[in-house]
Amino acid sequence: MSRFLKRQAAEVEEHDISKELFLGIMMLMLSLGIMILNATQPVWRVHRHDPQPGDRVVLYTSAGMGLSRDGYTIDSPLSEWDFRRMVRRLVAEPEANLHLFLKGGSRERLAKHASFADSLLSTDQAGEKVRSAVYVHTW
């Protein structure tokens, strides 16, 4: 084989490898972008939706969590069991929504509570999403 053909074969091979590397990097970037979007926009919907009369407001602070009327101060402390009981009672009130305000405290706890409440309040008997009932406020 001549030197020219060997050089052409080597250049073609290098070009194919660079294409594969480029496509691999692009796929990685796409996957990371999707993961970031999923982390910032979880199953429940994040809305700027102010609480209406009849809605329940839970405030998370570094001192703990509790029920609130305005999302700024805790009116009465709330334990884990009280929270679960309150969400189960909200199932019978289809017009009432749940607002979770994070003003400190654990973001993981808020995410766990939001997913629990969303699974009970936003789906019908068949498990289909029927409405937004859980609003997460993080600022």
pTM over 0.85: no
Which run of H or E residues covers position 76? strand 76-77
Q: Answer yes or no: do 71 and 102 share one domain.
A: yes
pLDDT in tens, 95-125: 888 888 888 888 888 888 888 888 877 776 6
Could you tell me if residue 115 is inside a domain?
A: yes
In a domain, 99, yes or no: yes
- 66 and 91 in a single domain? The answer is yes
Q: How far apart are CA 124 and CA 96, in angstroms?
A: 15
Same domain, 16 and 71: no
Closest of 27, 1, 117 to residue 65, by C-alpha: 117
Total structural domains within the chain: 2
Residue 14: inside a domain: yes
Q: Tell me: do 32 and 61 sit in the same domain.
A: no
Q: Which domain holds residue 85?
A: 56-138
Place of tokens 């706890």: 109
Could you tell me if 67 and 28 lie in one domain? no
Taking only the tens place, the pLDDT of each residue in 39-60 is: 554 444 444 567 788 888 888 8
> Is residue 47 one of the residues assigned to a domain?
no
35 and 63 together in one domain: no
For residue 111, is it within any domain? yes
Residue 62 lies in a domain: yes
